[in-house]
């Protein structure tokens, strides 16, 4: 009897582990299971070892189940290692080839670092006085500037100015703030890339295009303060994630932005009319509510222009800034199809771009800086930001 109950316990444990491991091949369709998927994919290499260890001690059918789970957990790492060279080639084709001293996009050693381990920059907060309402920006000084400060003290002026990434946060347009996934900002600063993360006005109190105007104000602030911050005003990369990706691409394609030489869109939407057509009050984000808050209603009458002005897919043109698009194929919070449609529009317009589709990826995969998604995303963004 004791052996029987022991076998049942092993089966229950093995089934639970396998249920988590399945998210490396199947999308998580609810917000709560998205968190499980994020841990299962971006820390899958750790869980693969756990599952394999359990399989060693288990007996009966549980052994096979745990072995299968270990293989599934290992899938993201295996896929990322295999596709790293392909991503390098895609970046090079878009004009962001690797340069001397650049780290490779993939490192087995880095994989085992703590997810949030990175040097910390001394963040400085500034008011954005040019915005329509009081907003703030956080400035992450690049690592070389710490050396530059010392050189200035002894009377030696270091040459050169740092490239800058301006980050537009996500949050469904009605939430989030400039501190979102700040560890990524610290990592970029440690690589010699300055980061400016700004707030923007939120829906429903401030519908689109208030967010576009605020991003423009942040970009203008960066250029106006470039000299005193040690930045190159002509080497700005505009990066948006999730809702921020929609804001960033629509802002960049709608008009020429001085100094912006590239755009990075992480798992965003880029055709608001299409989003309205597939919205639902029962999906994981209640997209029906989000769209009504953000745009006030359906794309009719006076609102139609706002929908189109916020849709990068419709604004794509040959003169658009080179664009890096990254999206997880298993992302159910924001479908990968949104990014694929943007890439198709850019290709038709003849605009330089690269689409990186992560077969195992879910939403916000770079939360683990050193995981399979985190390594490819951070490395690719660094390539774009530092390209000559």
CATH number at residue 144: 3.40.50.1820
Q: Which three-class secondary structure state does DSSP give residue 265?
A: strand
Do 61 and 111 have their domain in common?
Answer: no
Do 41 and 101 have their domain in common?
Answer: no
- pLDDT, tens only, 126-145: 999 766 688 999 999 998 65
Do 251 and 164 have their domain in common?
Answer: yes
Do 66 and 214 have their domain in common?
Answer: no
Do 21 and 70 have their domain in common?
Answer: yes
Distances (CA, A) of 333 to 27, 243, 284: 10, 11, 7
Asked whether 329 and 361 are in contact (CB, 8 A), the reply is yes
Q: Is the pLDDT of residue 317 over 60?
A: yes
Asked whether 95 and 384 are in contact (CB, 8 A), the reply is no
Distances (CA, A) of 63 to 39, 43, 58: 22, 22, 5
Q: Which three-class secondary structure state does DSSP give residue 95?
A: coil
Domain that holds residue 355: 83-386
Do 57 and 93 have their domain in common?
Answer: no
Q: Which two tokens stand for residue 384?
A: 């774009």
The number of distinct structural domains making up the chain is 2
Query: Which pLDDT belongs to residue 82?
Result: 97
- pLDDT, tens only, 68-124: 999 999 999 999 999 999 999 999 999 998 655 567 999 999 999 999 999 999 999
Do 19 and 32 have their domain in common?
Answer: yes
Do 153 and 263 have their domain in common?
Answer: yes
Out of 78, 108, 141, a domain closes at 78
- For residues 132 and 319, the model is more confident at 319
Q: Is the pLDDT of residue 9 over 50?
A: yes
Q: Which two tokens stand for residue 89?
A: 């080639």
Do 124 and 215 have their domain in common?
Answer: yes
State the residue for tokens 């919070």: 333
């Amino acid at each position: 009897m004791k052996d029987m109950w022991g076998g049942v316990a092993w089966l229950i444990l093995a089934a639970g582990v396998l249920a988590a491991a399945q998210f490396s091949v199947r999308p998580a369709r609810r917000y709560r299971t998205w968190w499980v998927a994020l841990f299962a994919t971006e820390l899958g290499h750790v869980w693969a070892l756990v599952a394999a260890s359990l399989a060693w001690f288990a007996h009966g059918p549980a052994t096979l189940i745990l072995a299968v789970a270990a293989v599934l957990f290992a899938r993201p790492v295996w896929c990322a290692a295999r596709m790293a060279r392909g991503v390098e080639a895609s970046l090079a084709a878009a004009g962001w080839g690797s340069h001397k001293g650049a780290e490779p996009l993939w490192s087995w050693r880095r994989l085992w670092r703590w997810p949030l381990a990175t040097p910390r920059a001394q963040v400085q907060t500034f008011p954005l006085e040019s915005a329509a309402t009081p907003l703030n920006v956080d400035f992450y000084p690049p690592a070389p500037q710490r050396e530059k400060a010392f050189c200035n003290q002894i009377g030696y002026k270091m040459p050169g100015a740092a490239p800058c990434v301006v980050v537009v946060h996500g949050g469904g347009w009605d939430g989030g703030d400039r501190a979102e996934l700040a560890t990524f900002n610290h990592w970029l600063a440690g690589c010699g890339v300055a980061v400016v993360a700004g707030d923007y006005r939120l829906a429903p109190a401030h519908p689109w295009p208030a967010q576009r105007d605020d991003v423009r104000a942040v970009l203008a602030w960066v250029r106006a303060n470039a000299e005193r911050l040690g930045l190159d005003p002509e080497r700005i990369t505009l990066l948006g994630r999730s809702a921020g990706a929609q804001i960033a691409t629509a802002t960049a394609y709608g008009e020429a932005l001085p100094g912006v030489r590239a755009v990075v869109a992480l798992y965003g939407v880029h055709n608001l009319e299409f989003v309205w057509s597939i919205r639902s009050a029962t999906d994981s984000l209640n997209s029906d509510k989000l769209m009504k808050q953000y745009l006030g209603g359906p794309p009719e009458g006076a609102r139609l222009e706002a929908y189109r002005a916020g849709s990068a897919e419709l604004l794509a043109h040959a003169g658009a800034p080179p664009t890096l698009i990254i999206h997880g194929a298993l992302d159910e919070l924001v479908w990968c199809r949104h990014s694929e449609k943007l890439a198709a529009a850019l290709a038709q317009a003849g605009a330089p771009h690269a689409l990186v589709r992560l077969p195992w990826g879910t939403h916000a995969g770079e939360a683990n800086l050193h995981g399979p998604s985190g390594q490819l995303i951070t490395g690719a963004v660094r390539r774009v930001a530092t390209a000559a």
